[in-house]
Amino acid sequence: MLAEKDDNLQPAADGSENDTNKDTSLVETKETAASPASKDEENEHPTSEKEGEEDDPQDEIDESNAEDAEDDGHKDRHKIPMLDYHAISMDKLVDELEKLVRKEKIQAIKNHVDQIKSEFDLKYQELLEQKKEDFINDGGNEIDFNYTSATKKRFNTVYSEYKDKRNQYYKNLEHRLKSSLENRLEIIEELKGLINVEENINDTYKHFKELQDRWRNAGPVPRVNYNDVWRTYHHHVEIFYDFLDLNRDLRDLDFKHNLEEKEKLITQAEALAEIRDVNKAFRELQLLHKKWKEDLGPVDREHREDIWNRFSAATKAIHQKRQEYFKNQDAIHEANLVVKQDIIKKIEIITLKPASNHSGWQKQIKEVEALREDFFNAGRVPYKVNEQTWASFKETVRKFNRNKNAYYKNLKKEQQKNLDKKMELVNTAESLKDSDDWDSTTPIMKKIQADWKKIGHVPRKHSDKIWNRFKTACNHYFDRLHARKNEHFKEEMDAFEQKKAFLDDLKEYQLSGDKEKDLEQIKSFIADWKKIGRVPYNKKNIEGKFNKILDALFKKLDLDKQKAELIKYGNKLDQLANSDNDSLISNERIYIRRKIDEVKSEIRQLENNLQFINADESNPIVKEVQKNIEKHVEDLNLWKAKLKKLKNMD
């Protein structure tokens, strides 16, 4: 992990206007001016401007402005948002790296790239360890393990591009900085020579202004030389202003201009204290210090100490606010640590109670994934415990994954068995899909469909393929079966129309009075009805109408109830036998046996009731019970006769 503090925000710049008292290898002994300077003008800066205080922001500002001065592109690093790379996936990290390398200045992205690389390496190492663990759990040998990632390859390509661009940039920069340093030293030499030339003071002043313009546009210098070069330059600017003592108008004009510009900088610095983004305010302050130091010269002695104190006070106010911000950040990081530790404990609790089935594991996997996401989004923790927290989290997740992998390793074995079973059903379906033996094949096809539903999951990579094969074979068979039924539909509708006409004729039939002859006629009607054939399923109610007419005829004949019922029952059995549903006969058999058991139970109950009635057979209650027993006995005989008739069909 990387340090929590944003190290990109390192301020810079010398707080003093012209620090003549500091030693530097470039500062030469002050040369004698053409006209001696007054004592008041000899010391351009107050002591408070030169002497740093403990925790003075000036050192930080000096260092950062020296860094920025080395190349103008460095300041662009402040404009690039520093994302929370810890919470970003590996693919997104590569995307961010690619965007930085392709769109931003190469010298401005170092800290961003370093953080991205650190986070990517950590995440990839975790992935690599997990893949290795999975490989070994699946029976692989650790020596044979090899894993390649398209994401890793893409990262290496982009990072290599970054290094090439960076190396080329710094190779060119070294030459440019050296040339710029030589140029500035030449300007300083020319500046030193101004006080010894014999020419009109106005021409000399004009030459001085030209040197100032050249200095401002001379380009960057090496960071290590930055402050010394500027101090040397200011030192000789002071000497030149001392030289201008003979022409105070020109000097006072410069003093006035510098005072006005520095007051503007002070106003801007004081306004920065109101900005909520303390890092942005501090970066803006660095720019103000840079202008103060690089673009403006000294002011008159009367305002010198006051104006610097005001600028210094505004600087310290912003610095103090920023220090408070970092203290608060420490508290936030401590709070983030508590959150992350709580997440780790929650994952540990889940790990200690592993699920026992697939749905349970899927639920736990989602819970751990959500907690994992919460961990990455929880924010940074104190740097001193960063690695420890990450290691604890990684190990806890790994324990959960070990349990998960062990479960699914066993599940794969079970799924392979299920695959073998389903493949048998697939082969059966494909072998029967073109069969024309409808009566024997249809039950088999229905059974293997039911068996398919009872078999558990198969490996996902085979699931769709075998299901499509099975479904295609079953659909092929039943489409053929339904097409065949559609051919018979017209015949069934013709049968329905015939039976409607038959019923109309039957309603007009009158008994002759000869019981035997009429019974034979009724049986003939039943036989003719059967010959007409089946009707469509949704027209089955016509059978009920036919039976009602038969009941009325049997009643007029005063035919024995059981005999009449059995005649009608024979017609019902024929209908069941001619249906496509073999289970109807079986269900009818179960139904009759249940009715027999119910009637027997009723008879036993009535006979038991008689034993508790203390009365002779003439008692009305006794007579009623005996009558009920006799009725149930008749029903029992009828049900037994139906069962016998049903058995004769086998």
Q: Give the count of alpha carbons within 13 A of 182, CB side only.
A: 6
From first CA to last CA, the distance across the chain in angstroms is 83
* pLDDT grade for 62, boundaries at 50, 70 and 90: low
Question: Any idea how long the chain is?
Answer: 650
Instruction: Indicate the pLDDT class of residue 650, thresholds 50, 70 and 90.
Output: low
pLDDT at 70: 60
pLDDT at residue number 526? 82
Element spanning 43, H or E: none
- Lowest mean pLDDT of 17-21, 246-250, 371-375, 397-401, name the range: 17-21
Instruction: Give the pLDDT score at 426.
Output: 92
Q: What is the pLDDT of residues 577-611, one digit of tens each?
A: 766 666 777 787 888 889 888 888 888 888 888 77
Q: What is the pLDDT of residues 486-511, one digit of tens each?
A: 766 777 888 888 888 988 888 888 88
Would the pLDDT of 197 be above 50? yes
Whole-number pLDDT of residue 428: 93
pTM for the predicted model, two decimal places: 0.41
What are the tens digits of pLDDT across the range 462-482?
889 999 999 999 999 888 888
Which of 587, 573, 584, 561 lies closest to 530, judged by CA? 573
CA gap 74, 68 in Å, rounded:
5
CA distance 543 to 363: 56
What's the pLDDT tens digit per position in 311-357?
888 888 888 888 888 778 888 888 889 999 999 999 999 999 998 88
Q: Which two tokens stand for residue 637?
A: 């005989």
Enter the tokens of residue 11.
Answer: 């301020």
Per-residue model confidence as pLDDT tens digits over 172-191: 888 888 888 888 898 888 88
Residues 220-241: tens digit of each pLDDT: 888 778 888 888 888 888 788 7
pLDDT for the residue numbered 36: 30
pLDDT the model gives residue 54: 46
Domain range annotation of the chain: 39-330, 415-477, 581-650
Dist CA 66 CA 13 (whole Å): 7
Helix pair 386-432, 301-352: axis angle to 10 deg: 40
Amino acid at 648: N
Confidence class of residue 612 from pLDDT cuts 50, 70 and 90? confident
| DSSP for 162-218, written as a single string | HHHHHHHHHHHHHHHHHHHHHHHHHHHHHHHHGGG--S-HHHHHHHHHHHHHHHHTS
Identify which has the larger pLDDT, 583 or 452.
452
Select, from the ranges 436-450, 532-546, 556-570, the one with the highest average predicted confidence (pLDDT).
436-450
All residues at 6 or more sequence positions from 481 whose CB lies less than 8 Å from its CB, including other chains: 438, 442
Per-residue pLDDT tens over the stretch 516-549: 888 888 888 888 888 888 888 778 888 888 888 8
Nearest to 340 by CA among 289, 407, 385, 279: 385
Among 388, 363, 288, 259, residue whose Cα is nearest residue 64: 288
- Higher pLDDT: 122 or 268? It is 268
The C-alpha atoms of residue 6 and residue 19 are separated, in whole angstroms, by 31
Does pLDDT of 64 surpass 90? no
The pLDDT value given to residue 212? 82
Query: Is pLDDT of 118 > 50?
Result: yes
DSSP per-residue codes, 254-277? HHHHHHHHHHHHHHHHHHHTT-S-
pLDDT > 50? residue 14: no
Counting DSSP H helices and E strands in the chain, the numbers are 20, 0
**Residue 212, CA distances (Å) to 26, 297, 313, 497 in order:** 18, 10, 29, 117
Average model confidence (pLDDT) across the chain: 79
Rounded distance between C-alpha atoms, residue 48 and residue 136, angstroms: 69
1 pLDDT higher than 60: no
CA distances from 78 to 35, 49, 68, 542 (A): 47, 27, 11, 91
